[in-house]
C-alpha cells in the first residue's frame, strides 16, 4: 500500500495556517487496533482513532478510560425522581389540597408511576445530553473534515489522528512513525485562517430578534401599567358569555328588552299582599273609604301608567316649599293626608337590633342630605347649597316642632313616596328598613330633647369624648 504525505497547497498559501495534526488511513479494523496499541505504547497522549462503527477492542488498544456518563445519568435520574415526589407532594398535598373520592392527599403507591416516568425522562436527558456534552458535540466545524479521504470514516475506512499539540509530536518524527504502522495513506491537516467570529449579518439579525423581543416586553409593561377603555380580547370565547339571562342585562326575548322580569301584572309575591298588613305596608291603621285620598296615600311606587297619581301629585309639587318648617300649607292634598288614620305605634317589634339597623340604614340613605344628626346639614346638601342653583332646597330638620309631632305613619309615607321636594325612597329602601329608620329618627329627635340635668356626669364625659 502506497503511503504519501499530501499537502494542501491552498491552505498553505493562506496567511500562516497552523499544522493541526496528521491523519493515517487504514482499511481494516484489526490493523487499526494493532496500530493503536503501538501509538499508545509510543507514549502519545493527544491522539484519536476514527471508525465507522464502534470497534470492539479499540478502547483497550487506545487505553480509553471509562466515562463518567453513568454517574451523570444516575444523578439525573435521582433528580427526576426527587422532583417528581416533591412535585406531587407539594402540588396535591400542600399547595392545592383537594379531597377526591376520599383518597389520601398524598400516598406513595399513587405517586410511583409519575416518579418512575420522571426519573426515566431526566435520566434519558442525562444520557443523551451528557454524551453530547462529554463529546463536545455538536461541533459542526472541524478542520479534519477538509480531508477528502476522511469522508470515508463514516463508511468503511479507519483513521488514526495525531494532534500536533501532543508533547511528543513533531511533524517529521510522528509522520515517520505513522508510516511505520503501514497505513494506506498519511496526510496532514491544517487549521483555517478564517475567523471564528460570527458574520456581521448574523450578529445584526440576532440583535434584531432581540430588539423585537424587547418590544413585546415593552408592550406587556405598557399594558400592565396603563388603563384601557377596551375590554380584554377574548380570543377563545369558551363559555365566558352564555346565553342565559342575568340581572340587568338586555335580551331580545321580551318586548321590553329586560332580562330581569317584573312581577306579572295583577300578581303579588307570596307573603307580600299589602292589604294583609296595612299598618306595616302603608303606615295606616286602616284603609279609609275616601278612594281619592287613598290613591295619593298608597302610591307606593311611581307608576308611569297611573295617570291619576301623577295628575294629583303635580299640584303638590307646585306648592312653594322654601320654608319647610312653616306650618301646614293650605293644600287640599296635604290636608287630606293630615286626615288619614296614620299609625302611631310601630307595626314591628321595637328591638335593639332594629335600632341598630335603623342607624345603619339612616346613615346610608338619609344622612347624605339630612345630616348625621338630622339637622338637614348632610354633605350632599351642603355642597348643593354652595352651588346656589335654586333647584335645591335645604332638607328639613327633624328637630322642629312640626316634624316632631308627625305620626310615624306619616313619616313612613314620606320616606315611601317623598314629601314636597324630597324624592321617594320606596324603591331603594324596603319597608322593614323604613320602619327601622323611623325608629332611629325618633331616637334622634329624642336625643335633642333631653334635659342636660338628667344625664349623669359619667355619660356627659363619655359624650364629650366621643365628639
Partner 1 sequence: MASVTAEPIDTTIEVPGKRTPLVTGAHDYGTVTEAVCRLAECKTPLSWYVALGISASLMGMLFGLIGYLIITGVGVWGNRSPVFWGWPIVNFVFWVGIGHAGTLISAILFLFRQDWRTGINRAAEAMTIFAVICAGVFPGIHIGRVWLAYWLFPIPNQMSMWPNFRSPLLWDVFAVSTYATVSLLFWYMGMIPDLATLRDRAKGKIQQFAYGLLSLGWNGSSRHWHRYERAYLLLAALAAPLVLSVHTIVSFDFAVSQLPGWHTTIFPPYFVAGAVFSGFAMVLTLMIPARSICGIKDLLTDRHLENMTKVIIATGSMVGYAYAMEFFIAWYGGNRYEMFAFINRAFGPYAWAYWIMVSCNVISPQLFWIKKIRTTPWMIFVVCIFVNIGMWFERFVITVTSLSRDFLPSSWGYFQPTIVDVLMLIGSFGLFMTLFLLFCKFMPMVAMAEVKSVMPRPSGKGDH
Partner 2 sequence: MDRFLFPKWANTIVPVLGALGAVGALYVIGMVAFGASPETTDVGYQPEQPLPFSHALHAGKLKLDCRYCHNTVEVAGHAAIPPTSTCLNCHSGADANGVVNTVSIHSTSAKLAPIRESQATGKSMQWRRVHDLPDYVYFNHSAHVRRGVSCVACHGRVDKMEKVTQVEPLSMGWCLKCHRNPEPNLRPPEFVTKLDWEADGDPHEVGEKVRKELNLNPSTNCSTCHR
- Chain positions 404 to 443 lying near partner 1, rule: CB under 8 A, are none
Q: Which of 222, 233, 284, 292 is nearest to 411 (CA)?
A: 284
Question: Does residue 106 contact residue 92 with C-beta atoms inside 8 Å?
Answer: yes
The distance from CA 37 to its chain's CA centroid, rounded to whole angstroms, is: 67
Specify the residue, 59 or 276, whose C-beta has the smaller distance to partner 1: 59
**Cell of residue 431, nine digits:** 319597608
Coil, strand or helix at 30:
helix
Q: Which of 101, 155, 201, 244 binds partner 2 (CB under 8 A)?
A: 244
Q: Does 67 bind partner 1 (CB under 8 A)?
A: yes
250 forms beta bridges with 258
Q: Does 92 bind partner 1 (CB under 8 A)?
A: yes
Closest CB 154 distance from partner 2, rounded Å: 14
**Which of these ranges, 105-113, 157-165, 236-244, 345-353, lies near partner 2 under the rule CB under 8 A?**
236-244
| Residues 190-229 close enough to bind partner 2 by CB under 8 A | 192, 194-199, 202, 206, 213, 216-217, 219-220, 223-229
Specify the residue, 113 or 205, whose C-beta has the smaller distance to partner 2: 205
Region of 101 please: left (phi>0), alpha (psi -120 to 50) or beta.
Answer: left
Q: Which of 19, 37, 69, 350 binds partner 1 (CB under 8 A)?
A: 69
Q: Which of 317, 338, 432, 459 binds partner 2 (CB under 8 A)?
A: 317
Closest CB 169 distance from partner 1, rounded Å: 18
Q: Does 186 bind partner 1 (CB under 8 A)?
A: no
The string of DSSP codes covering 47-66 is EEEE-SS--TTHHHHHTPPP
Q: Does 456 bind partner 2 (CB under 8 A)?
A: no
Closest CB 227 distance from partner 1, rounded Å: 20
Which are the contacts of 64, defined by CB distance < 8 A and separation ≥ 6? 58
Please tell me what DSSP assigns to residue 250.
B
Q: Does 98 bind partner 2 (CB under 8 A)?
A: yes
Q: Does 88 bind partner 1 (CB under 8 A)?
A: yes
Question: Does residue 278 contact residue 298 with C-beta atoms inside 8 Å?
Answer: no
Q: Which of 109, 115, 121 is nearest to 88 (CA)?
A: 115
**What whole-number distance in Å separates Cα of residue 117 and Cα of residue 125?**
12
**Cell of residue 465, nine digits:** 369624648
Q: Does 54 bind partner 1 (CB under 8 A)?
A: yes
| Residues 1-30 close enough to bind partner 1 by CB under 8 A | 27-30
Question: Does residue 120 contact residue 113 with C-beta atoms inside 8 Å?
Answer: no
Residue 130 touches which of partner 2, partner 1, none (Cβ within 5-8 Å per kind): partner 1
Coil, strand or helix at 39:
helix
Only one residue has cell 445530553, namely 129
Q: Does 95 bind partner 1 (CB under 8 A)?
A: yes
Q: Which of 1, 167, 304, 401 binds partner 2 (CB under 8 A)?
A: 304
Question: Does residue 445 contact residue 375 with C-beta atoms inside 8 Å?
Answer: no
| Residues 109-128 close enough to bind partner 1 by CB under 8 A | 110-111, 113-114, 116-118, 120-121, 123-125, 127-128
Closest CB 379 distance from partner 2, rounded Å: 5
CA dihedral 84, 87, 89, 90 (to 10 degrees): 170
Closest CB 7 distance from partner 2, rounded Å: 15
Task: Give the phi and the psi of residue 459 in degrees, each rounded to 5.
Answer: -70, -35
Residue 403 touches which of partner 1, partner 2, none (Cβ within 5-8 Å per kind): none
Specify the residue, 85 or 187, whose C-beta has the smaller distance to partner 2: 187
**Where is 47: in which H helix or E strand?**
strand 47-50
Q: Which of 22, 27, 51, 56 is nearest to 39 (CA)?
A: 22
Q: Which of 19, 17, 67, 21 is nearest to 48 (CA)?
A: 21
Specify the residue, 330 or 387, whose C-beta has the smaller distance to partner 2: 387
Coil, strand or helix at 201:
helix
Residue 146 touches which of partner 2, partner 1, none (Cβ within 5-8 Å per kind): partner 2
Q: Which of 140, 167, 264, 401 binds partner 2 (CB under 8 A)?
A: 140
Between β-strands 158-163 and 47-50, what pairing exists: parallel, antiparallel or unpaired?
Answer: antiparallel
Closest CB 373 distance from partner 1, rounded Å: 48
Question: Does residue 263 contact residue 270 with C-beta atoms inside 8 Å?
Answer: no
Closest CB 227 distance from partner 2, rounded Å: 4
Specify the residue, 31 or 331, whose C-beta has the smaller distance to partner 2: 331
Specify the residue, 41 or 317, whose C-beta has the smaller distance to partner 1: 41
| Residues 370-409 close enough to bind partner 2 by CB under 8 A | 379-380, 383-384, 387, 389, 391-393, 395
| Residues 9-48 close enough to bind partner 2 by CB under 8 A | none
| Residues 143-182 close enough to bind partner 1 by CB under 8 A | 144-145, 150-156, 159
Q: Is the peptide bond before 138 cis (omega within 30 degrees of 0)?
A: yes
Only one residue has cell 494493532, namely 34
| Residues 345-374 close enough to bind partner 2 by CB under 8 A | 360, 363-365, 368-369
Amino acid at each position: 500500500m502506497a503511503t504519501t504525505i499530501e499537502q494542501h497547497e491552498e491552505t498553505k498559501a493562506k496567511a500562516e495556517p497552523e499544522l493541526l495534526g496528521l491523519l493515517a488511513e487504514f482499511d481494516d479494523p484489526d490493523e487499526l487496533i494493532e496500530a493503536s496499541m503501538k501509538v499508545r505504547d509510543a507514549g502519545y497522549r493527544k491522539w484519536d482513532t476514527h471508525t465507522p462503527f464502534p470497534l470492539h477492542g479499540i478502547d483497550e488498544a487506545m487505553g480509553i478510560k471509562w466515562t463518567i456518563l453513568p454517574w451523570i445519568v444516575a444523578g439525573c435520574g435521582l433528580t427526576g425522581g426527587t422532583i417528581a415526589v416533591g412535585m406531587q407532594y407539594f402540588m396535591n398535598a400542600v399547595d392545592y389540597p383537594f379531597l377526591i373520592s376520599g383518597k389520601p392527599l398524598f400516598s406513595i403507591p399513587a405517586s410511583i408511576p409519575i416518579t418512575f416516568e420522571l426519573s426515566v425522562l431526566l435520566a434519558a436527558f442525562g444520557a443523551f445530553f451528557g454524551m453530547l456534552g462529554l463529546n463536545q458535540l455538536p461541533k459542526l466545524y472541524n478542520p479534519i473534515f477538509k480531508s477528502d479521504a476522511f469522508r470515508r470514516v463514516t463508511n468503511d475506512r479507519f483513521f488514526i489522528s495525531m494532534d500536533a499539540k501532543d508533547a511528543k509530536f513533531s511533524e517529521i518524527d510522528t509522520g515517520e512513525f505513522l508510516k511505520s504502522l503501514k497505513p494506506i495513506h498519511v496526510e496532514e491537516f491544517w487549521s483555517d485562517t478564517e475567523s471564528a467570529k460570527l458574520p456581521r449579518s448574523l450578529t445584526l439579525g440576532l440583535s434584531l430578534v432581540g430588539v423585537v423581543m424587547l418590544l413585546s416586553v415593552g408592550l406587556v409593561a405598557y399594558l400592565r401599567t396603563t388603563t384601557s377603555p377596551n375590554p380584554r380580547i377574548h380570543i377563545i370565547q369558551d363559555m365566558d358569555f352564555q346565553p342565559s339571562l342575568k340581572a340587568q342585562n338586555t335580551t331580545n326575548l321580551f318586548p321590553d328588552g329586560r332580562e330581569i322580569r317584573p312581577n306579572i301584572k295583577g300578581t303579588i309575591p307570596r307573603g307580600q299582599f299589602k292589604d294583609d298588613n296595612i299598618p306595616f305596608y302603608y303606615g295606616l291603621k286602616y284603609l279609609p273609604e275616601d278612594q281619592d285620598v287613598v290613591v295619593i296615600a298608597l302610591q307606593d311606587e311611581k307608576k308611569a301608567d297611573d295617570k291619576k297619581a301623577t295628575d294629583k301629585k303635580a299640584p303638590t309639587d307646585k306648592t312653594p316649599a322654601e320654608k319647610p318648617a312653616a306650618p301646614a300649607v293650605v293644600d287640599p292634598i296635604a290636608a287630606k293626608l293630615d286626615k288619614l288614620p296614620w299609625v302611631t305605634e310601630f307595626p314591628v317589634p321595637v328591638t335593639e337590633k332594629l335600632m341598630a339597623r335603623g342607624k345603619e340604614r339612616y346613615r346610608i340613605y338619609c344622612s347624605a342630605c339630612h345630616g348625621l344628626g338630622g339637622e338637614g346639614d348632610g354633605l350632599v346638601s351642603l355642597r348643593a347649597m354652595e352651588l346656589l342653583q335654586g333647584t335645591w332646597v335645604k332638607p328639613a330638620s327633624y328637630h322642629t316642632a312640626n316634624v316632631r309631632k308627625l305620626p310615624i305613619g306619616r313619616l313612613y309615607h314620606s320616606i315611601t313616596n317623598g314629601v314636597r321636594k324630597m324624592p321617594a325612597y320606596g324603591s331603594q329602601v324596603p319597608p322593614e328598613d323604613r320602619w327601622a329608620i323611623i325608629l332611629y329618627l325618633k331616637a334622634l329627635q329624642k336625643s335633642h330633647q333631653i334635659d342636660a340635668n338628667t344625664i349623669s356626669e359619667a355619660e356627659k364625659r363619655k359624650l364629650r369624648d366621643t365628639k
